[in-house]
Each structure stands twice: as structure tokens, then as C-alpha cells.
Amino acid sequence: MNREKAMQIVKEQLPEKRYLHSVRVMETAVQLAERFQDDAKKAEMAGIFHDYAKYRPQEELKKIIEEQNMPKELLDFHSELWHGPAGAYLVEQEAGIADKDVLSAITYHTTGRQGMTQLEKIVFLADYIEPGRQFPGLDEVREAAKEDLDEAVLMALRNTISFLMSKRSTIYPDTFHAYNDLVKKTEE
Ligand SMILES: [Fe+2]
Ligand SMILES: [Fe+2]
């Protein structure tokens, strides 16, 4: 699928603001893929489609998670986490994206996981640092992203986990697994 077609499909699914975020995530993901020698085309597709299901009804996302045998544990955590895995399913079904690397990058873009693929890291990070974002600690992550993908993803995970803890929110276990994995990996 070419970029224009993908953008058109996503535009129909999202409010303007979220669509523009998706375009910036796509552009950022492509830059990161070029920087870290990944597949720029896959980064482009995963970037534009990553929030495809963000505005679907919660009930629909829940049903997909149940019927497609996705981890039931997701349903015990915040519904904000559901649009990743359920979104990957919808992108495959409705937009015909079959590439497993692209679909897993969509699946894990919110939570991360242990043993993230490079493309998963790229989309996770692009979602965090895209130029429309602004919050404390972000400039450091953007700096790290110029040189070291693992370090930048680790910083983003650390910030996310501390932010959630400061709000007394629950933290999905995969996010801790991603964090622990990268702490070990970056110590080596
Ligand atoms: Fe998202
Ligand atoms: Fe996003």
C-alpha cells in the first residue's frame, strides 16, 4: 500500500488532531528506521496505522480481545491499552495489512514487551517523541534517540512508568518486562 492510500484510510478513522499525530508518528518512524537501518516502508505503515482503532468503541475492542484470544489480562488494565492489539487486528482485517512486523509494532506500541523487535521500538519511540509532543523530560529522550535506540526507548519507558506511578495508576506487566529487558541489555 502506498503512503497516500494509507493516510486516506487512517484519516477516515480519526479526528483531525489524532490523524495529524499519526502522520507525525509516521514521519518520525521513517526517520528512525533510516537512522537505525530498519525497513522504512514498514516503519511508515506501522506509524500511520498505529492509532487506527483509538476511537473505536471500547465494547468493540473488548470483544476483539476476547474473541481473538489476546491476553485476557489486558481487560483488567486501562482501556487505553486495548487499541494496540485490537487495532492490529482491525488493520489486518479492514485495511489488508498482512505484514507481521508491522502488525506487531502496532500491537505493542503502547505497552512495549520483553524482547521488542527493532521496528516495535521504533514505533513506540516515534509515538513518544513525535514533534507535536511536549512534556518534561522529552528533550533528553529526543537527544538519546539521535544515537541509541535502546537507550531512548528505555528512557521513555522509565518516564512512562514513573508518571503512571505518580498518578497511582496500574502498570501493565509487559511495560515492566520491556523496561527490565532494556536495563539488562544496556548494561551489557
Ligand atoms: Fe496509541
Ligand atoms: Fe499515538
Residues 23-76: tens digit of each pLDDT: 999 999 999 999 999 999 999 999 999 999 999 999 999 999 999 999 999 999
Cα gap 18→55, rounded to integer Å: 9
- Please report which confidence band the pLDDT of residue 188 belongs to, taking 50, 70 and 90 as the band edges: confident
- Please report which confidence band the pLDDT of residue 168 belongs to, taking 50, 70 and 90 as the band edges: very high
| pLDDT score for 90 | 98
> Ligand 2 centroid to 168 CA: how many Å?
22
Please identify every residue whose CB atom is under 5 Å from ligand 2, which is an ion. 51, 127
Ligand nearest to the CA of 133: 2
Residues 86-93: contacts with CB within 8 Å, 24+ apart?
Answer: 86/53, 86/56, 86/60, 86/61, 87/49, 87/50, 87/51, 87/52, 87/53, 87/54, 87/56, 89/64, 90/52, 90/53, 90/56, 90/64, 91/49, 91/52, 91/53
Cα gap 102→119, rounded to integer Å: 8
Q: What does the block give as the cell for 154?
A: 528505555
> Ligand 1 centroid to 188 CA: how many Å?
31
Ligand nearest to the CA of 25: 2
> Ligand 1 centroid to 144 CA: how many Å?
22
Cα gap 124→119, rounded to integer Å: 8
Specify the length of the chain in residues: 188
Centre a 10 Å sphere on the Cβ of residue 152 and count the other Cβ atoms it contains. Answer: 24
Ligand nearest to the CA of 48: 2
Residue pLDDT, tens place only, 135-163: 889 999 999 999 999 999 999 999 999 99
Q: Which helix (H) or strand (E) holds 129?
A: helix 118-129
> Ligand 2 centroid to 83 CA: how many Å?
10
Residue pLDDT, tens place only, 109-134: 999 999 999 999 999 999 999 999 99
b/e map 60-78, b = 16+ CB within 10 Å: ebeebbeeeebeeebeebe
> Ligand 1 centroid to 21 CA: how many Å?
10
pTM score, whole prediction: 0.96
> Ligand 1 centroid to 98 CA: how many Å?
19
> Ligand 2 centroid to 169 CA: how many Å?
19
